[in-house]
Amino acid sequence: MRIFYSFNKRGVEAEFWSREIAAASNGRHTFVPFNHDPYIATPRYTRAQLLDNLYFRKDPGLMRLYADFEAKLAEVKPDAIIVDNQNPYHPDYLRNISIYKVLRTTDGPLSAYDRDFVYLHAFDQVLYFGPAYSSDMGMREKLAYVGATNTDFWPLGTFAANHDASRSEEEVLGHERDIDVVFIGALHLDKMPMLATVKKAFGTRLRMHGLTSLKRNLYFNAKYGFPGWVRPIPIREYVPLYQRAKIGINVHLRGDYTLGSYRLFDLPANGVMQISDGGEYLDEFFRVGEEIVRYRGADELIDKVRWYLSHDEERQTIARNGYRRAMRDYRIHDVLQRGGDLIAAGMARTGWHIRA
């Protein structure tokens, strides 16, 4: 089956997404990457109403995207298209594209009403990255409630560029690590209380980096009593930093209900023992207590970090188990192939046929 994969990334990420999506092709499924980012700035269509405004005005960038999209479809002749990251294709436009269409959600409940639910009628299948939605219901039930019935759970994974695929298990896990705790991620307002508490507990033993700004750093330190300055680092520095770290903490927006970020897979792929939120849903990804450790609340997170830092053998065992699980199930090549299988099954359920 030939799958046309539309996504929006830039810089180094755009390069390895295109390269690794294409490289995931085999005799079963062929993936053709298409980066829709260069045509129009993402903030201009982060919400469905913004995209509707652009479409109504026939925005030149959007029209160029649609023209190139159609030309590429005519060249590739795919069986299905999948739209990842953020959808730039207006439902009224997609109505005239007679190919099996798949929406891949990647931001979860926090932006579901802005970026996912409003577009469901334009897609034949939805692949959601995490099983959680809210305390009321899971994501599958929520999708059915808003009208999407052809849905499947398809977790994210780790790109080869986000771990050192050239190194053996012993090379990744067998060396000394000089950083006790690490967190790399955006300094969102909702994460600040947790990160500030943990940073104050561990001081310089916790390395925090991620997407932030001067204004956000000033707010973080003024609001939470100067826990520390968070410095962004280029993505090429993630892997060397992870491979020096003993423990990686994972903090999701809305806690248990947005579980499933790329960090969930990049940490174990780099031999880092992971302590994550996620509640009951964490078991959907890793075996809790064997491949990952779960926490609820800042105090429990701090206690568990301290315990595993003083029990090195137990930490190394969980790190090794997590690494093996990531290498077995969550490398991007394997994740994409399973995605192709899910799309083929979704097509069969709804009567679509793969081209001969």
Asked whether residue 355 is assigned to any structural domain, the reply reads no
pLDDT at 283: 95
Domain shared by 137 and 165, yes or no: no
Torsion of CA 346, 287, 185, 134, to 10 degrees: 60
Give the residue from 272, 205, 200 showing the smallest Cα distance to 243: 272
Asked whether residue 8 is assigned to any structural domain, the reply reads yes
We report the CATH number of the domain holding residue 254 as: 3.40.50.2000
Domain shared by 9 and 52, yes or no: yes
In the structure encoding, which two tokens stand for residue 116, read together? 């996912």
Q: Which residue has the tokens 């897979």?
A: 265
SS3 248: strand
Question: Measured between alpha carbons, how far is 192 from 126 in angstroms, rounded to an integer?
Answer: 32
Write the single-letter amino acid at 75: E
> What's the distance, Cα to Cα, between the start and end of the chain in Å?
9
Domain shared by 149 and 165, yes or no: no
Burial grade of 71 (CB within 10 A; 0-12, 13-18, 19 or more): exposed
pLDDT at 248: 97
Domain shared by 100 and 134, yes or no: yes
pTM to 2 decimals?
Answer: 0.94
Domain shared by 38 and 79, yes or no: yes
Task: Give the neighbor-by-neighbor strand order of the sheet with 179-184.
Answer: 206-209, 179-184, 245-250, 273-276, 293-294
Q: Give residue-wise pLDDT tens across range 286-340.
A: 999 999 999 999 999 999 999 999 999 999 999 999 999 999 999 999 999 999 9
We report the CATH number of the domain holding residue 66 as: 3.40.50
Domain shared by 133 and 223, yes or no: no
Say if residues 175 and 183 touch (Cβ distance below 8 Å).
Answer: no
Domain shared by 40 and 149, yes or no: yes
Asked whether residue 356 is assigned to any structural domain, the reply reads no
Q: What DSSP letter does each residue of 287-311 carry, written as one string?
A: -BTTTBEE--SHHHHHHHHHHHHS-
Asked whether residue 209 is assigned to any structural domain, the reply reads yes
Domain shared by 320 and 205, yes or no: yes
Domain shared by 86 and 228, yes or no: no
Domain shared by 42 and 106, yes or no: yes
Domain shared by 115 and 183, yes or no: no
pLDDT at 356: 55
Domain hosting 190: range is 160-329
In the structure encoding, which two tokens stand for residue 268, read together? 């174990």
Domain shared by 269 and 346, yes or no: no
- Flag residues of the chain having pLDDT under 70: 355-356
Say if residues 163 and 270 touch (Cβ distance below 8 Å).
Answer: yes
Domain count for the chain = 2
